[in-house]
Amino acid sequence: MEQTGIIQYTAIGRRIRARRVELRLTQEKLAEMAGISASFVGHLERAEKIPSVDTLARLCVCMKLSMDYLVMGKRQACDREACALYEDLQRVLASHSSGRMERR
């Protein structure tokens, strides 16, 4: 995929993969947690597909990353309040995505 503009999808893919490996998650497990397909996780890691904002948010919640870090590479500490919000969002996403898989 061609890298244009400010968002570097190759770098996003590398960060997704690095964090997934750091958490010792398979592509299948991360996909299940995020409500997307395992093949889509692979496409994202290789920058072959562009994720929606919703998908990025789901991945951030699952991997406990800030959107800033995932998209721009700027790591920020996850304070207690932000972590609680991530966990709340993860519960909401899980309740809304039961049986729904993102197909790209």
- How high is the pLDDT of residue 88? 74
Alpha carbon of 60 to those of 1, 2, 26, 71, 98: distances in Å?
22, 24, 16, 10, 18
From first to last of the 104 residues of the chain, give the pLDDT tens digit. Answer: 555 577 899 999 999 999 999 999 999 999 999 999 999 999 999 999 999 999 999 999 999 998 889 998 876 555 566 667 667 776 776 676 655 544 44
Q: For position 63, what pLDDT does the model report?
A: 94
Question: What residue spans define the domains of the chain?
Answer: 9-97
Cβ atoms of 31 and 41 within 8 Å: the answer is yes
Tokens representing 19 are 């964090």
Fold of 9-97: 434 Repressor (Amino-terminal Domain) (1.10.260)
Length of the chain as a residue count:
104
pTM confidence score: 0.70
Beta-carbon contacts of 11 under 8 Å, excluding residues fewer than 6 positions away, are 73
- Note the pLDDT of residue 3: 54
